[in-house]
Amino acid sequence: MFGSRNDRLIREILPKVDQINALEAEVSLLSDAEIQSRIATIREQIQQDLTERGAPALEEESFRMRMDGRPEEADEIDKKYQKLEQSVLDGVLVDTFALIREAGKRTLGQRHYDVQLVGGIALHNGWIAEMVTGEGKTLVATLGASINALAGRGVHVVTVNDYLAKRDAELNRPLFEMLGLTVGVIQSNMSNSDRRVQYACDITYGTNNEFGFDYLRDNMKVDPEQQVQQSRRHYSIVDEVDSILIDEARTPLIISGDASDVSENFVIANEVAKKLRGVAKPKLEEEAKRKQVEKEDLEDNWDFVFSEKDHQVILTERGIERVEKLLGRGNIYDTASNPWPHHIEQALRAHNLYKRDKQYVVQDGEVIIVDEHTGRMMHGRNWSDGLHQAVEAKEGVTIKKETQTLATITLQNYFRLYDKLSGMTGTALTEASEFWSTYKLEVLSVPTNRPLIRKQFGDVIYRTAREKYKAICAEIEAVRALGRPVLVGTISVENSERLSQMLHRRGIEHEVLNAKQHLREAAIVAEAGQLGRVTVATNMAGRGTDILLGTFTQEILLEHWKASGIAPKELEADDPQIYPKLIAHWKSYRLSTGVSLYEEWEFRGMLEHFDHTVTYEGKELTVPPLCTTVQELGGLHIVGSERHDSRRIDNQLRGRCGRQGDPGSSRFYLSLEDDLMRIFASDKVSWLLDKLGMEEGQEISAPMVTRSIEKAQKKVEAHHFDMRKNVLEYDQVMDEQRKLVYRERQRILEGKELRAGVFLWIERAINCALAEHVDGRLPVEEQNVAGFCDWVRKQFGFRVLPREIEELSEDKKFHMLMAKVEEAYALREQEIGEEDMRRLERFIMLQKIDGKWKDHLHGMDQLRSGIGWHGYAQQDPKIAYKKEGYKLFQEMWENTADEITSLLFRVRPVREEEEQQLANTWQPKSYSKPAEPGAPTARSVEQGFQSQAASRARDMAAAGGGEAAPEPERREAPKVKRNAPCPCGSGQKYKKCCGRKQTA
């Protein structure tokens, strides 16, 4: 009676659709100028309503809270603003959508269907619109993008690749421009100045990677004029949202710089790895089960154990001994910093878990990653943590320098920066719970405009891959003979090339679309729906593009049938007895198995959907008609050569056919040697096949088998969800730290309240010093007043005597010292000049924050790589990572405050000839190469500092000069807190042992 939640949401939207339809006749009578005038009026009305309802005050309050270091309260204010803006836009939705629909008819020749209006309202509400492939998601995006762009805060439309971003932007540009909206598009090799122009538009198209990397790059810039994403992230529409927010979410975005060159280590580790013997974890477990022993008892028969499911390689005790012997070294686990366990593990992963033409290809002496979800080459992307170098060593190509993280963010945390997020895809319901738990996104399944008439045949399974591919070739041959186009989906470059070779041997003409032929993608996809065309493709095949079904004459179709041997050579298209003659020919035509071609087709179910029937020998038969379109022949036929580990990817392949009411069909062929079956489902399915008495060469198509495969896919999806959740939970630690650093950095970059910001750093430094030396909670005899006074002298250049502060409370100590600091700072300001002091403050704070943040990222990388060992101590690694990460950040932040205050009080005016000396102060020790096209390098970041330094040199200062500014204390070892255990091992507190000696 009540229907599902999805039905209820649709019912709530439909009255608005009716209202939009009611305006269609009226709006159609308006001139172009009148439409533009109405849109301009709506735009003004939105701004007026926002102003009258207090939006500017909310913006000001949010900004002030962020400046005061109250981000949580600012976030609550932002939510109020977003709710207010949504309400204002809801009030103009019906009129605006009616105008957008009319603009679409006039500029694009396309009218938004009612179901597309439903999708557009879902996007505006901040939901995911699940729309079947071919339902016009590109046009739907214009609705949500246009109405939200009228609010004047910018809209980002996210696609999966540069081609689709540019195509969609150019396709919809006439519509947007008629509405008075500007459109931009971001491309991977675009210059910084061009990006800035594109982001300034009302609506900007681009890829998830480009938007994410631009965010990271902006937070590495040293000049606000060079930042490209000028405004907050307001509203985003993510096309193929499942691919971007689910599939790609396991891999964070990372901008890297070169670390030290240890390429020789990778070569050595590769040679060692080749000499080690390993076993797959399932095989080891199977052997242990057979011998009725624990698998640990068998591990030392091998050097390492690897797991494709967990993507791990673990050295056994025997393996560790062999590695140490091959390296000619002692204990490789002697210290936490020993690089060899890491190098050996990555070399073993490269050899056992990463396959050429599957996870990567080698082109022009370079290892290029292949995206496992799209099948596209990912130029400029490297695996991190030394894995890429290990694969290069394995392939014998030039080894790039290992990289160090300069900036990083997960896609989950990037897209959660948007005030409002929405998305579109053909396959979202299977992941609805994850969309909600991670992004708070509702999924709405939008009805189709026309009934879906695609045939979905059951899976066919074989024991071996050889039998499976043989059957696939037979199906391709049979369907192609009819004239129907065939698209064969494979999961890797390797498999697509294997199938291509088999088709060549059979003399079947075809095209191959994989990462190696990506430059011909558009041309191949454009022809994939033509008469008798066969296309073998990886997952990249035309997602986001329509495979258009071809047309021809009856004569051309008959010639195709003759060439395929299924029509008599002498038959003509206008023969009145054409069908009896064709059926007689089919009846006499025998396959090598002795089954007639007609019966073979019937068995395959290829003719089940035909309405065209003829009577032959008193029997009514369904036959392919002599027609003029692929649509009449039955449309595109999809053959899946392997189930993907996600049901969504399988559904995307099926979605290549049967678009917009066209007919089509699909079938998947599987074998027990497929990765999914081998890793997750082989035992159960193999048992089933044995029970069913299946022999080699025999196929089976059983619902029970299909259900087992779907269960295996669900297991994989759950496994991947855990991985994504794991990535997110670890990045949550970094996310809060990143937001704090980037927020402080942006405030400094924009020059907002610089002097006040400096004193916040000074207060932080003083509080840390008070806590370290004269903590009020400690007895007086344990306080180090002399050490605190010495810190003040070194830090600020003036003296405080112990007797001045000994009897004061901690609070009074702080206020007395702050008064003296303010006095000293005013003198420095007077000496240098107020304007140049602001420049110096900005310069020093940016330089120190960037340097410390970069070092902190490296420290967090090291922490993450070793945190798994906490599991052996019965500690939750995530909790340990959170605690240790917080501790590292606090230490980094304290050190940053300490160094900023020290430098600001140790400056002197410089002479003109010292200009170059100042520029060299910030010279980096090593330069980095970006992991993404256009990403900033360490050189570019540091050069930004240099150019700033050079322009300020006449008035700024060089560190370390002047008698009143002593050199900072330099430590070879980490700084030790006074109350921490002394590192000498005495068991006493540091302040009562070596710390006392240092003070003395």
Q: Is residue 43 situated within a structural domain?
A: yes
The region of weakest confidence among 268-272, 522-526, 611-615, 647-651 is 611-615
DSSP three-state, residue 440: coil
Domain enclosing residue 974, as ranges:
970-1000
Give the pLDDT of residue 809: 80
Distances (CA, A) of 302 to 20, 542, 655: 70, 45, 45
Residues 849 and 810 placed together within one structural domain of the fold? yes
**Contact partners, residue 946, CB within 8 Å, separation at least 6:** 919, 922, 923
HSE-CB at 700 with a 13 A cutoff on CA atoms is 21
pLDDT confidence band for 197 (50 / 70 / 90) = very high
Residues 822 and 703 placed together within one structural domain of the fold? no
pLDDT one-digit tens code per residue, 475-514: 898 889 889 999 999 888 888 889 999 999 999 999 988 7
Q: Is residue 405 situated within a structural domain?
A: no
Residue pair 441/423 in contact (Cβ under 8 Å)? The answer is yes
Residues 436 and 467 placed together within one structural domain of the fold? no
The full DSSP string for 609-657 is: T---EEEETTEEEE-----SBHHHHT-EEEEESS--SSHHHHHHHHTTS
User: Quick one: average pLDDT of 567-571?
Assistant: 86
Cite the DSSP H helix spans in 366-416. 387-395, 411-415
User: Quick one: average pLDDT of 941-959?
Assistant: 34
pLDDT at 680 over 70: no
CATH code for the domain of 292: 3.90.1440.10
Q: Phi first, then psi: give them for residue 171, nearest 5 degrees.
A: -65, -45
pLDDT at 925 over 50: no
User: Quick one: average pLDDT of 128-147?
Assistant: 90
CATH code for the domain of 671: 3.40.50.300
Residues 137 and 183 placed together within one structural domain of the fold? yes
pLDDT one-digit tens code per residue, 410-431: 888 899 899 999 999 887 777 8
pLDDT at 931 over 60: no
Q: Is residue 947 situated within a structural domain?
A: no
Last residue of a domain, which of 598, 627, 656? 627
Q: What gap in Å lies between CA 756 and CA 758, rounded to an integer?
A: 5
User: Quick one: average pLDDT of 924-930?
Assistant: 29
Give the pLDDT of residue 614: 55
Structural domain count, the chain: 6
pLDDT at 246 over 80: yes
Residue pair 981/992 in contact (Cβ under 8 Å)? The answer is no
pLDDT confidence band for 873 (50 / 70 / 90) = low
CATH code for the domain of 803: 1.10.3060.10
DSSP three-state, residue 971: coil
pLDDT one-digit tens code per residue, 748-800: 888 878 888 899 899 989 988 888 888 767 666 777 888 888 888 888 888 88
Residue pair 253/410 in contact (Cβ under 8 Å)? The answer is yes
pLDDT at 915 over 50: no
Q: What gap in Å lies between CA 339 and CA 323, rounded to an integer?
A: 13
Residues 757 and 903 placed together within one structural domain of the fold? yes
Q: What gap in Å lies between CA 378 and CA 382, rounded to an integer?
A: 9
Residues 238 and 197 placed together within one structural domain of the fold? yes
Residues 61 and 198 placed together within one structural domain of the fold? yes
Residue pair 927/937 in contact (Cβ under 8 Å)? The answer is yes
Last residue of a domain, which of 627, 647, 667? 627
Residues 677 and 821 placed together within one structural domain of the fold? no
pLDDT at 926 over 50: no
pLDDT one-digit tens code per residue, 151-167: 988 999 999 888 889 99
Q: Give burial (CB, 10 Å; 0-12/13-18/19+) of 545.
A: middle
399/1000: higher pLDDT: 399
Q: Is residue 514 situated within a structural domain?
A: yes
Give the pLDDT of residue 909: 42
904/954: higher pLDDT: 904
Last residue of a domain, which of 342, 368, 400? 400
pLDDT at 110 over 50: yes
Residues 330 and 420 placed together within one structural domain of the fold? no
pLDDT one-digit tens code per residue, 591-645: 333 444 444 444 344 444 455 555 555 555 556 778 899 988 889 999 999 888 7
Residue pair 114/448 in contact (Cβ under 8 Å)? The answer is no
Give the pLDDT of residue 952: 36
pTM: 0.72
Percent of the chain scoring above 90 in pLDDT: 27
Residues 425 and 464 placed together within one structural domain of the fold? no
Q: Is residue 933 situated within a structural domain?
A: no
Q: What is the DSSP letter of 867?
A: G
Residue pair 574/445 in contact (Cβ under 8 Å)? The answer is no
Average pLDDT, the chain: 79
Q: What gap in Å lies between CA 323 and CA 344, rounded to an integer?
A: 8
Q: What gap in Å lies between CA 89 and CA 68, rounded to an integer?
A: 31
Q: Is residue 670 situated within a structural domain?
A: yes
Q: Is residue 935 situated within a structural domain?
A: no
pLDDT confidence band for 287 (50 / 70 / 90) = confident
pLDDT at 30 over 50: yes
The region of weakest confidence among 27-41, 390-404, 597-611, 866-880 is 597-611
Residues 849 and 877 placed together within one structural domain of the fold? yes
Q: Is residue 926 situated within a structural domain?
A: no
User: Quick one: average pLDDT of 54-67?
Assistant: 83
The most confident of the ranges 258-267, 796-805, 987-996 is 796-805
Residues 88 and 18 placed together within one structural domain of the fold? yes
